[in-house]
Amino acid sequence: MSVFTLPFKNVLLGSIIFGFLFTTSVPHAHEFSGFVGADTRLFPNSALYSGQEDHSSSFVIQPEYYHEFESGSSFTFVPFYRLDSADKQRTHFDIREFSFLWLQNNFELRFGVRKVFWGTTEVLHLVDIINQTDLVENVDTEDKLGQPMLNISFSRNWGVWDLYWLPYFREKTFIGTGGRLRSSAIIETSLTQYENSAKKWHSDWAFRYSHSFGDWDIGLSQFIGTSRDPSLIDEKNSEGTIVKIPRYEQIKQTSLELSFVAGQWLWKGESLYRSGQGNGDYFAWTGGFEYTLARIWNSQMDLGLIGEWMFDTRGDNANTPFENDLAGGLRLSLNDAASTEALFSWTQDINSQARYLFLETRRRLGERLLLTTEFRAFINQPSEDFLFEQRADEIINIELAYYF
C-alpha cells in the first residue's frame, strides 16, 4: 500500500530529475546501510476491547542509500516497511527520507522528503512539529513519517536561519482494531476532516533561528499551517457505531528551545504558544535537568539522573497525558564492548495518583545485532485520565535487529 497519492508520486519523480540536473558534480562516494529486524509484543493483561490480541509479532526493514558528490552535495533515500501480525494499520510502508542536499559556502538547500527534529528534553518533545507522528510504530511518539519539504538554511557566525516550505500534509497514523494501546472507540481515518479546503495540499511554513552562546544553545521557531495533532470528534459511522474522527485545524505556533551545560549538569527546556487548536489559545512547557555521575563505584559505568516537569494550560482538556506531570529517570551506560545501556523512567501526574513506568535496555550482540527490550506500565489511572482506556495495556516488547 502506497503512502502517497499519485500526484505526489509525480512530484517525487520530478524532484529526482531536478536533483540530478541541479547537482552537476561527478559522483564521489556512496554508502548502503540500514537494518532488518523482528519483534514480539506481549501483553500480560487481557484486552479490554473486542478484536484486540494479547500478543503480536512483526517484521521490519529500513535500508538507507547515501550518495555524496565531489562538491559535498548529497542524496539520501530511506524507505521503511513493517509487517504486523495483529494490527493491519501497523502494517505499513513509508518513505522516511528521499532528499537532495546542495551546499554552497554558508548556504544549504534541501528538498524532497526528510525528517527534522526540534527539541531538547527527554520525556516530551513539545516543539517538534515539522514531521507527523507515526503512532502505530510506538506510542512514545519518537517515530516520524517522512515530510515533503523545501528547506533553505543560512549559516552565519551569529546564528543559523532555516526556512521550511511544506507543500503536502501527512496524516497521523493510528492504531487499528487489532492493536493494543488504543482507546475504546476506533479512530476512523477515512472520515478525516480539515479546517482548510485545500486539505492535504495546504502549504505550511516554518521559520527557525538557532545559535550557540558559549554553554548555551537556543532555538526560536514559528510554524504556520496544519496542526500535526488532530482534534478527535465523536460521531457515528455508516454502520451507526460511535467512532472518533480526526479533524486537522489551522494553527500558529511560536516555540522556544534552550539548553545549558554547566560541568556535569545539563539544563534544558521547551515552551510554546499555540493558537487555532481547539477552543482557545494555550501555553505549554517542559523543562528539567540531566546530571551525569561518571565512573560510578570505581568502574567504567556512567549514571545519568533525569528530572523534568511538563505543564499544559489546557489542563484536563489537553490532547496529551502530560498536562501537569513530574518525570524522573535513570540512564545507565556500562561503556562495555557491547554498548550496553538501560533507561528507567517514571512519570507522576501531580493532580492524581496516576503514574507511568518505562524501562528500556539495549545491547549489541556481536558487530551486527542489536537486542532491545521495552516495558511500559500504566498505574492507578483514574477514569478522567488521558490514559485510562489503556490501563490494561502493560507491554513487554522485544526486538532483535541486524544492521548492515
pLDDT in tens, 37-67: 999 999 999 999 989 999 999 999 999 999 9
Mean pLDDT confidence for 347-374: 96
- The confidence score (pLDDT) of residue 3 equals 52
Q: Is 111:100 a contact under the CB 8 Å cutoff?
A: yes
In angstroms, rounded to a whole number, what is the distance separating the alpha carbons of residues 95 and 115? 10
Q: Which residues contact 220 (CB under 8 A, 6 or more apart)?
A: 208, 209, 210, 255, 256, 257
Q: pLDDT exceeding 70 applies to what percent of the chain?
A: 93
In angstroms, rounded to a whole number, what is the distance separating the alpha carbons of residues 169 and 173? 13
Backbone angles phi, psi at 333, to 5 degrees: -120, 120
Decide the pairing of beta strands 107-114 and 147-156: antiparallel
- The confidence score (pLDDT) of residue 237 equals 83
Residue 325 has pLDDT above 90, yes or no: yes
Residue 278 has pLDDT above 90, yes or no: no
- Report residue 94's pLDDT band, with 50, 70 and 90 as the boundaries: very high
Q: Which domain holds residue 165?
A: 6-403
pLDDT: which is higher, 318 or 164: 164
- CATH number of the domain where residue 117 is located: 2.40.160.10
Residue 247 lies in a domain: yes
- The confidence score (pLDDT) of residue 241 equals 84
Residue 396, CA atoms < 13 Å, CB-side half-sphere: 6
In angstroms, rounded to a whole number, what is the distance separating the alpha carbons of residues 205 and 151? 10
Kind and range of the H or E run holding 18 = helix 6-22
For 226, the grid coordinates are 496544519
Residue 371 lies in a domain: yes
Residue 197 lies in a domain: yes
Residue 321 lies in a domain: yes
What's 26's DSSP letter? P
- The confidence score (pLDDT) of residue 279 equals 78
In angstroms, rounded to a whole number, what is the distance separating the alpha carbons of residues 302 and 297? 10
Q: What is the pLDDT of residues 160-178, one digit of tens each?
A: 999 999 999 999 999 999 9
Q: Is 319:231 a contact under the CB 8 Å cutoff?
A: yes
- Report residue 14's pLDDT band, with 50, 70 and 90 as the boundaries: low
Mean pLDDT confidence for 296-319: 94
Backbone angles phi, psi at 71, to 5 degrees: -75, -10
Residue 263 has pLDDT above 90, yes or no: yes
- The label of the residue with cell 561503556 reads 335
- Report residue 343's pLDDT band, with 50, 70 and 90 as the boundaries: very high
Residue 24 lies in a domain: yes
Q: Is 293:304 a contact under the CB 8 Å cutoff?
A: yes
Collapsed DSSP state (helix, strand, coil) of residue 8 = helix
Angle at 83 between CA 191 and CA 65, to 5 degrees: 105
- The confidence score (pLDDT) of residue 70 equals 87
Residue 9 has pLDDT above 70, yes or no: no
Cα dihedral across residues 221, 226, 231, 232: positive or negative: negative
User: How close are the terminal C-alpha atoms of the chain, in Å?
Assistant: 26
Residue 133 has pLDDT above 70, yes or no: yes
Residue 205 has pLDDT above 80, yes or no: yes
In angstroms, rounded to a whole number, what is the distance separating the alpha carbons of residues 145 and 60? 15
- Report residue 10's pLDDT band, with 50, 70 and 90 as the boundaries: low
In angstroms, rounded to a whole number, what is the distance separating the alpha carbons of residues 168 and 161? 22
Mean pLDDT confidence for 353-368: 96
Q: Smallest Cα–Cα separation from 65: which of 27, 28, 36, 31?
A: 31
Strand order in the sheet with 231-236: 193-194, 242-248, 231-236
Residue 1 lies in a domain: no
* Burial of 327: CB neighbours in 10 Å, binned 0-12, 13-18, 19+: buried
Overall number of domains in the chain: 1
- The confidence score (pLDDT) of residue 280 equals 86
Residue 174 lies in a domain: yes
In angstroms, rounded to a whole number, what is the distance separating the alpha carbons of residues 109 and 104? 8
Rg for the chain, CA atoms, rounded: 22
Q: Smallest Cα–Cα separation from 364: which of 402, 338, 398?
A: 338
Specify which of 28-32, 75-79, 349-353 reaches the highest per-range mean pLDDT. 75-79
Tell me the pTM. 0.90
Quote the mean pLDDT of the chain.
92
- The confidence score (pLDDT) of residue 385 equals 87
> E strands along 237-354, which residues?
242-248, 250-262, 265-275, 282-293, 302-312, 324-333, 341-349
Residue 23 has pLDDT above 70, yes or no: no
- Report residue 242's pLDDT band, with 50, 70 and 90 as the boundaries: confident
For 350, the grid coordinates are 501531580
